[in-house]
Structure formats: C-alpha cells, structure tokens
Amino acid sequence: METPAALVTGGATRLGRYFAEALADKGFDIALHVNSSRGEAEEVADAIRGKGRECEILPCNFLEDSLEGLITQAKTRFPGLNVLLNSASAYEPAPIARTDMAMLETQFRVNMFTPLLLTRHFAEAVEHGQVINIIDNKVAYHQYPYAAYLLSKKSLAEMTRMAALEFAPRLRIN
C-alpha cells in the first residue's frame, strides 16, 4: 500500500508550515512547495524527516512556472499523493484607492488562479483525494486596507464551493 502524501503550497512558513508538519504527524509524506523561502523550507523538510516521514522540496514561482509540472513532480515523487493543501498566498496591503493592476494580477494569480489550476491538475492526476484551500477569516470583514488580497480570497472561497460540487464525490474540497 502506498504511503499517503500531501502537496502543501507555501509550506515553508506560517500556516503552510504548521499544516505540513501536522500532516507529517498524521503519517503523510510531504511535497513541500516553496518560492522564495528556501532556507525555511529546508528547516521544515528536516523537521518532517525527523518525524520519520519523507519530504521533497519543490520550488515553483506561481507567477512564472508550470502549475501542471508541480502536480506531476509531486505525484511522481509520491505516488500516494492524495491531498492538495493550497496555503501559499500573496499579501500586499492597500486600499482600493491605491490598488493597481499589477497588485491585482499578482494577488489573484497566487491566491485564486493558482489554487484553481492546481485543483484542476490534481483532479486529473488522482482517483480520489482531498483539496484544502486556506482562505482567511478576514473575508468575513470588509477591511478596506487589503482590497486585492480580500477580493482574491473571497473569490477563492467561491471557487472552493464550485469545485466541491463539480468534483464530488471523487474529491472532497473545502
């Protein structure tokens, strides 16, 4: 039987790190996505390996690199891949009055478009599994200093509901 595995995006810091280590504690091997936090990713990988689990660091810049390639790398390294946890995020505070197209493009690309496309590629690569999208409790509050970030996370929440319906019962998405 294959060891269950999870691909955790943004797994080197903050919530991503917490979830990567928690999944390792539950017996999962970890495909650890990283963009700029390479040193932190090595620390997380060492901690996961110290728990007796396998961990592979998979660098990917969501603004430039292939998202399908990230899923392929994770599935090749860990054939038991059955969890995708989208935790990576771009977070640049600015109210609508200071939000420009570049800020919108970056935050929507990382916070909404990437999880959507990773979910699609994950659904193509696995028979059964789970996708977990990390939103933010701030979406319930209209904190205007974070316009692009909150709009992208609100969109991610809606995409999550849509994907849950589309891919059920084969994938559980929340």
Q: How far apart are CA 85 and CA 55, in angstroms?
A: 15
Domain containing 60 equals 5-173
- pLDDT, residue 34, reads 96
Task: Kindly report the pTM of this predicted structure.
Answer: 0.96
Structure tokens at 162: 């849509």
User: Tens digits of per-residue pLDDT, 77-118?
Assistant: 999 999 999 999 999 999 999 999 999 999 999 999 999 999
Mean pLDDT of 145-167: 97
Specify which residues 34 forms β-bridges with: 59
pLDDT confidence bin for 140, thresholds 50/70/90: confident
For residue 1, pLDDT over 90 is answered with no
Distances (CA, A) of 142 to 93, 133, 134, 145, 149: 13, 20, 18, 9, 11
Backbone angles phi, psi at 88, to 5 degrees: -60, 145
Whether the Cβ atoms of residue 32 and residue 11 lie closer than 8 Å to each other: yes
CATH number, domain at 168? 3.40.50.720
Q: What is the number of structural domains in the chain?
A: 1
